[in-house]
């Protein structure tokens, strides 16, 4: 006996067999015999489900929900005999138009379901849209039955993680990628061997929730072309993967392709973190389009001024009302969905400070959304990374409401490392603090160094090559007369602005890049590398390439050959970190706790051992990390001289039979710049070390 | 694009049943097709699906095939896909379906392998 009595229709609407649906889950779900729809609005007076014929793109039915199909503020219906592959859908909401109290209902619009799992309209990246289409984005139903074949999240300890921040399209779109599916999820899979060769074990993907690359279609006065929303920090659908990133987007199979990518990355031991944007939506301010939330329940979803306009803490026109219980539910449900349905390993929250604001925009002491995310059982093992500031001036670095769970993009690590790198005075002590895992930010409250995502470059700003090649941003190609983008770059061009063939400058730039990468791999915390920095990717001085779908953003794989020395160095620097547990502890190292070989966990040195120079004029930092591990003593000496002059380092003495070996010396020409442990040259006991100008070294202790 | 323009003809070749499918395998035909093929599977140990003439294979079509494949497997039978057009093969590959099937180039190759018991 297996029949259920609720598998049968109870009536008809507009010629379709229906019955009252289930209110949860929100959105659509496939049920025996039909499709269940559920949609929320607190202020709509009526709700109509609109079905489009997928083939003709015309409306094939409009079903007004009877009042008996509403429970509380939620309408739901099961429609029978609906072929899931033949239709797309949206909703019309009737309700007041009264912006002063926050209502902007407009029944002429067909609205996107906020919980929709797949969206059509931008199926193929860059394919010219039909600008006359009144309803460009439409939802459709997909099976959620992917065969994971035993895959689950990797749960790599954060101390062992090496993050690679990348854009799905930019990673392989360039013609030099030499793969079958450039610019797609499938393309990422084809490049897994490359990622493994580099040694990273986590990719952090720039936004992959459905967005509209044509959203910023404004003429570019410089290029004469049209700007695009290439980065995608403007969500259309929080539950739908970007179709235009899928080789199979035109067939509506982006979800399967995305899952296939995650499964393949996991099989290679690589985690997947998503850059998620919950601070605003794609609907802009009061002049923006009505796509979903504005027409469903404007007053609930957005932070509004007393006059009914949109607070703009995001810099993108609106701000999501994240600490309203309904919106909180949406965000939480979304994160759970990506973790359970897509096996995602973690999230980086864009402009996350907004998530701690109350409905008036004020900062909350105990923001319920962040608490719910931090303590949610389904999210319990995934990585949570906050960009701890927003465009509204809220800067919470080191103070982000973290509940012991959120780490932070450490903006101070970026700034101090850049300043030390370019030789600014008064930065030796600050650099030391960053090396030690930023205890100034993360020791209080027991957060530890893993609260710090260490990075020097990210998608937002200069690439590493440009950081050592430009003193100023060069954003003319964005078409805004170089006004956009940050002026706080802390960069140094090494003598000439931009590209040069001057061998002295080229060699110095390469050394500076190596110094930066080495710092990233040696410092306590979780390092994050920007896509392409390992092969000297340039944006020709543009520090804000959000709008370019071209060579400014696409990774040129031919660099790999031209910059083979840099790639080799990066690979070995990553390997060095992975080989030496003393670099990766989850605790802040202490100078009053014994480490190994007579050294404390951390000790500071200078030209003379045990005599660090923290004076404003000092451009030298030297440190010994020492720890006992299951495989024995692990002791490393790291020194960075950012002065233009050489410095003689008297090395700390190791107990016999241990001798220092030279793992890295960026002052040496390749191949002597970096060595595997076994090939590393051994130093005589008591030897001094001549560290070159703008150079850094790593030594490690090994038995003679 | 979504209209049911699918055809199937089944013939016996030695100990193998060969189903030649042409047209689009979409949700609207997947149910009927599955029923037909399951019936064929009841009467044979080896079923070859000749895809040389298929057009579109949608998400629902792929899922129907996978169910069929698993049905065959639990009953100790063999299902082989042959002559899949490159474009369809590509979609199956990037969505993770292809690796779940036994895929060969032609009907003859499948029959040969059956006769040599390679597929056992």
Interchain CB distance below 8 Å, B96 and A180: no
3-class DSSP assignment, residue A267: helix
Across A498-510, average pLDDT: 98
CB contact under 8 A, A86 and B90: no
- Classify residue A284 as left (phi > 0), alpha (psi -120 to 50) or beta: left
How far A33 CA sits from the closest chain B CA (Å)? 12
- Residue A686 structure tokens: 């008591």
Residue A111 CB-density burial (10 A; 0-12 exposed, 13-18 middle, 19+ buried): buried
- A385 DSSP β-pair partners: A348, A407
What is the spatial distance between Cα A141 and Cα A35, in angstroms, rounded to a whole number? 9
Q: Which of A85-89, A221-225, A628-632, A670-674 has the lowest average pLDDT?
A: A221-225
> What is the pTM (predicted TM-score) of this model?
0.96
Tokens describing residue A504: 């002295």
A180 contact residues in B (CB cutoff 8 A): 90
Query: In whole angstroms, what is the distance from residue A183 CA to residue A167 CA?
Result: 9
d(CA A692, CA A666): 8
Asked about A350 being catalytic, the answer comes back as yes
Contacts of A278 (CB under 8 A, 6+ apart): A235, A238, A320, A322, A331, A334, A349, A350, A354, A355
pLDDT band at A2 (very low <50, low <70, confident <90, very high): low
Judge whether residue A160 has pLDDT over 80: yes
> What pLDDT digit, counting tens, does each position of A291-334 carry?
999 999 999 999 999 999 999 998 899 999 999 999 999 999 99
pLDDT at B1 exceeding the cut of 50: no
Q: Answer whether residue A1 shows pLDDT above 70.
A: no
Cβ pair B94:A85 closer than 8 A: no
Q: Are strands A138-140 and A46-53 parallel, antiparallel or unpaired?
A: unpaired
Of A357, A434, A351, A415, whose CA–CA distance to A388 is shortest?
A: A351
Q: In Å, how far is B120's CA from the nearest CA of chain A?
A: 23
Q: If you write DSSP's letter for every residue of A318-372 in order, what string do you get?
A: --B-TTSHHHHHHHHHHHHHHHHHS---EEEETTGGGGGB-TTSPBPSS-HHHHH
Q: Nearest CB to A85: which of B59, B66, B90?
A: B59
pLDDT > 70: what percent of chain A? Answer: 100
Query: Out of A500-509, A596-605, A635-644, A676-685, which region has the weakest mean confidence (pLDDT)?
Result: A676-685
More reliable by pLDDT, B113 or A500: A500
Contact yes or no for B47/B79 (Cβ under 8 A): yes
Residue B119 has pLDDT above 80, yes or no: no
pLDDT of residue B118: 66
Q: What is the pLDDT of residues B21-70, one digit of tens each?
A: 999 999 989 999 999 999 999 989 999 999 999 999 999 999 999 999 99
Question: In whole angstroms, what is the distance from residue B61 CA to residue A623 CA?
Answer: 62
Three-state SS letters, A145-204: CCCCCCCCCCCCCHHHCCEEEECHHHHHCCHHHCCCCCCCHHHHHHCHHHHHHHCCCEEE
Pick the more confident residue, A393 or B2. A393
Query: How close are the terminal C-alpha atoms of chain B, in Å?
Result: 38
Concerning whether A387 is annotated as a catalytic residue, the answer is: yes
The answer on pLDDT for A165 being more than 80 is yes
Mean pLDDT of A541-551: 96
In contact, A697 and A667? CB cutoff 8 Å: yes
Mean pLDDT of A542-548: 97
Residues B90, A247: C-beta atoms closer than 8 Å: yes
From chain B, the residues in CB contact with A186 under 8 A are 93-94
* pLDDT, tens digit, 9 for 90 and up, residues A473-484: 999 999 999 999
Contact A162, A201 (CB under 8 A): yes
Range from A275-284, A425-434, A513-522, B4-13 carrying the lowest mean pLDDT? B4-13
| Cβ–Cβ < 8 Å for A242, A232 | yes
**Whole-number pLDDT of residue B8:** 94
CB contact under 8 A, A251 and B27: no
> Is the pLDDT confidence value at B4 over 80?
no
Residue B3 pLDDT grade (very low, low, confident, very high; cuts 50, 70, 90): very low
Burial class (CB in 10 A: 0-12, 13-18, 19+), A693: middle
Best residue in A260, A262, A264 to probe B by mutation, most B CBs within 10 Å? Answer: A260
Q: Which residues contact A487 (CB under 8 A, 6 or more apart)?
A: A472, A473
The per-residue pLDDT for A318 is: 95
Measured in whole angstroms, the distance separating CA B13 from the mean position of its chain's CA atoms is: 16
Mean pLDDT of A39-63: 96
Beta carbons of A701 and A654 less than 8 angstroms apart: yes
Q: Nearest 10 degrees: CA dihedral of B64, B70, B76, B81? A: 50
Q: Residue A221: pLDDT band by 50, 70, 90 thresholds?
A: confident
In this prediction, residue A442 has a pLDDT band, given cuts at 50, 70 and 90, of: very high
Chain B residues whose CB is inside 8 A of the A256 CB are: 59, 95-97
Considering A165, A204, A350, A416, which one is annotated as catalytic?
A: A350
Is B60 in CB contact (< 8 Å) with chain A? yes
> What average pLDDT does the structure give for chain A?
96
The band of A217, judged by pLDDT with boundaries at 50, 70 and 90, is: confident
Q: Is B59 an interface residue toward A (CB < 8 Å)?
A: yes
Which among B2, B93, B96 has CB closest to A85?
B2
Tell me the count of A-B CB pairs closer than 8 A: 62
Those residues with Cβ within 8 angstroms of residue A52's Cβ, 6 or more apart along the chain or in another chain:
A58, A59, A60, A87, A88, A89, A90, A135, A138
Residue B95 and residue A256: Cβ atoms within 8 Å?
Answer: yes
- Helices A411-421 and A503-522 cross at an angle (nearest 10°) of 140
Q: Do A248 and B91 make contact, defined as CB atoms within 8 angstroms?
A: yes
The whole-angstrom separation of Cα A427 and Cα A217 is 43
CA distance A391 to A313: 5
Helical pair A503-522 and A428-435, crossing angle rounded to 10 deg: 50
Section A660-672 average pLDDT: 97
Tokens of A507: 């060699």
Q: Which residues pair with A699 in a beta bridge?
A: A637, A662
What is the spatial distance between Cα A50 and Cα A64, in angstroms, rounded to a whole number? 9
- Using the Cβ of B39 and the Cβ atoms of chain A, whether some distance falls under 8 Å is answered with no
């Amino acid at each position: 006996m297996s029949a259920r009595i609720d598998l049968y229709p109870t009536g008809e609407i507009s010629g379709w067999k229906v019955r009252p649906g289930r209110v949860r889950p929100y959105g659509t779900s496939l049920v025996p015999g039909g499709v269940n729809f559920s949609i929320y609005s607190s202020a709509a007076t009526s709700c109509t489900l609109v079905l489009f014929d997928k083939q003709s793109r015309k409306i094939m039915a409009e079903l007004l929900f009877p009042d008996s199909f509403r429970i509380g503020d939620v309408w739901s219906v099961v429609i029978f005999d609906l072929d899931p592959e033949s239709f797309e859908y949206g909703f019309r909401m009737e309700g007041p138009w009264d912006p002063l109290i926050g209502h902007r209902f407009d029944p002429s619009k067909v609205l996107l379901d906020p919980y929709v799992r797949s969206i059509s309209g931008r199926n193929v990246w860059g394919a010219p849209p039909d600008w006359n289409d009144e309803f460009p984005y439409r939802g459709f139903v997909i099976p959620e039955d992917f065969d994971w074949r035993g895959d689950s999240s990797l749960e790599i300890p954060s101390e062992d993680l090496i993050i690679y921040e990348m854009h799905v399209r930019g990673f392989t779109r360039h013609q030099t990628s030499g793969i079958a599916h450039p610019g797609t999820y499938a393309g990422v899979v084809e490049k897994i061997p490359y990622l493994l060769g580099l040694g990273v074990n986590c990719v952090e993907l720039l936004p992959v929730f459905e967005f509209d690359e044509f959203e910023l279609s404004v003429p570019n006065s410089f290029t004469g072309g049209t700007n695009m929303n290439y980065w995608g920090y403007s969500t259309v659908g929080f539950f739908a993967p970007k179709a235009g990133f899928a080789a199979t987007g035109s067939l509506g199979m982006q979800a399967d392709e995305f899952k296939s990518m995650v499964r393949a990355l996991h099989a290679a031991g690589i985690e997947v973190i998503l850059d998620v944007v919950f601070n605003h939506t794609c609907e802009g301010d009061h002049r923006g389009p009505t796509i979903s939330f504005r027409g469903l329940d404007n007053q609930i979803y957005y932070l509004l001024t007393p006059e009914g306009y949109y607070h703009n803490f995001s810099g993108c026109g609106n701000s999501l009302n994240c600490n309203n219980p309904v919106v909180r539910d949406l965000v939480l449900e979304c994160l759970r969905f990506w973790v359970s349905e897509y096996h995602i390993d973690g999230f980086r929250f864009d402009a996350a400070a907004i998530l701690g604001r109350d409905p008036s925009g004020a900062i909350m002491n105990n923001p319920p959304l962040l608490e719910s995310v931090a303590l949610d059982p389904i999210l319990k093992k995934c990585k949570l990374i906050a960009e701890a500031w927003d465009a509204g001036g809220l800067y919470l670095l080191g103070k982000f409401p973290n509940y012991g769970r959120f780490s932070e993009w450490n903006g101070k690590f970026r700034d101090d490392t850049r300043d030390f790198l370019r030789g600014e005075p008064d930065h030796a002590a600050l650099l030391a603090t960053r090396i030690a895992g930023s205890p100034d930010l993360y020791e209080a409250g027991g957060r530890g160094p893993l609260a710090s995502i260490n990075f020097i470059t990210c998608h937002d700003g200069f690439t590493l090559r440009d950081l050592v090649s430009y003193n100023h941003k060069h954003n003319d190609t964005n078409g805004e007369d170089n006004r956009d983008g940050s002026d706080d770059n802390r960069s140094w061009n090494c003598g000439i602005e931009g590209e040069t063939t001057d061998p002295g400058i080229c060699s110095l730039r390469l050394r500076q890049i190596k110094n930066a990468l080495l710092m990233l791999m040696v410092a306590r915390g979780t390092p994050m590398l920007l896509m392409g920095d390992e092969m000297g990717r340039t944006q020709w001085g543009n520090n804000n390439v959000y709008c370019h779908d071209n060579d400014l953003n696409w990774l040129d794989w031919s660099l790999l050959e031209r910059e083979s020395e840099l790639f080799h160095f990066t690979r070995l620097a990553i390997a060095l970190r992975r080989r030496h547990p003393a670099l990766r502890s989850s605790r802040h190292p202490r100078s009053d706790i014994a480490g190994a070989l007579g050294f404390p966990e951390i000790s500071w040195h200078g030209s003379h051992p045990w005599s660090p120079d923290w004076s404003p004029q000092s451009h030298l930092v030297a440190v010994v990390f020492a720890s006992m591990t299951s495989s024995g003593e692990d002791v490393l000496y790291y020194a960075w001289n950012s002065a233009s002059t050489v410095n003689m380092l008297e090395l700390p003495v190791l107990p016999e039979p241990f001798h220092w070996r030279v793992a890295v010396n960026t002052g040496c020409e390749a191949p002597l710049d970096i060595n595997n442990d076994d090939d590393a040259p051994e130093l005589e006991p008591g030897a001094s070390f001549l560290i070159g100008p703008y150079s850094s070294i790593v030594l490690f202790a090994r038995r003679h | 694009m979504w209209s049911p323009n699918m055809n199937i003809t089944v013939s016996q070749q030695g100990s193998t049943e060969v189903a030649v499918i042409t047209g689009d395998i979409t949700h609207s035909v997947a149910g009927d097709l599955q029923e037909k093929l399951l019936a064929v599977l009841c009467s044979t140990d080896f079923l070859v699906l000749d895809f040389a003439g298929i057009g579109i294979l949608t998400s629902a079509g792929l899922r129907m095939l996978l169910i069929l494949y698993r049905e065959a497997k639990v009953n100790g039978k063999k299902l082989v896909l042959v002559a899949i057009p490159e474009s369809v093969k590509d979609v199956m590959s990037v969505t993770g379906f292809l690796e779940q099937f036994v895929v060969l180039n032609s009907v003859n190759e499948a029959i040969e392998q059956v006769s040599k018991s390679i597929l056992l």
